[in-house]
Amino acid sequence: MRALGTVLLSVGLGACSSAEEPEFTYDKADMEGVIVGTWTGTWTPDGSSASELTLELRPAPSGSLRPACNSRVLSSGSPPGLHPTCAASSALRLVGNLSVADGSVAEPSLVGELSIWSLNLGPGELSLTNADDTFRLYAQQNEQGGFESCGATAGDRQVTCALDSRR
């Protein structure tokens, strides 16, 4: 059984490090260019009226994070040619703060990331949370760098938000 686990681990890790893999067409500066800055928009808790929001995003300080790829096969008898593979992805760690004009939310310390699941700079997923994990903000970024959807959970409240412009 240990030998089978070693073989599966080797196959999974091998899928992440092939010299024949395509190259990414963007770098850290390109990712920062589509997300870093001060975003403005609206904040609308369920059952309430909209207020203006300001979301400031900065690159997180460099750390010791390294890319990781963990592929597992949890079934047997897979079709011929089906092998574990890794998805091309990039994550830019971010820090920031959120304020809402009506004073209902002030989160001065948010951490999270912008994730892009492609070799090309394109649609991304923004996710942020506070230190005690009682606040979460998530948004889908389109290929032009604008946001198509935005939502948040603040305690037990659901919020719809919009990130309309960046300065």
Give the domain CATH number at 108. 2.40.128
- Predicted confidence (pLDDT) per residue in 97-119, tens digit: 999 999 888 888 999 999 999 99
The 10 Å CB-count burial string (b at 16+, else e) for 132-157 is eeebbbbbebeeeeebeebebebeee
Residue 128 lies in a domain: yes
The domain total for the chain is 1
- Predicted confidence (pLDDT) per residue in 29-63, tens digit: 999 999 999 999 999 998 899 999 999 999 998 76
- Segment 53-80 shows an average pLDDT of 70
Pairing of strands 37-45, 51-59: antiparallel
pTM score over 0.75: yes
Residue 8 lies in a domain: no
Asked if residue 124 lies in contact with residue 105, where contact means CB atoms within 8 angstroms, the answer is no
Residue 144 lies in a domain: yes
- Domain range for 97: 25-61+84-166
- Predicted confidence (pLDDT) per residue in 15-33, tens digit: 455 556 679 999 999 999 9
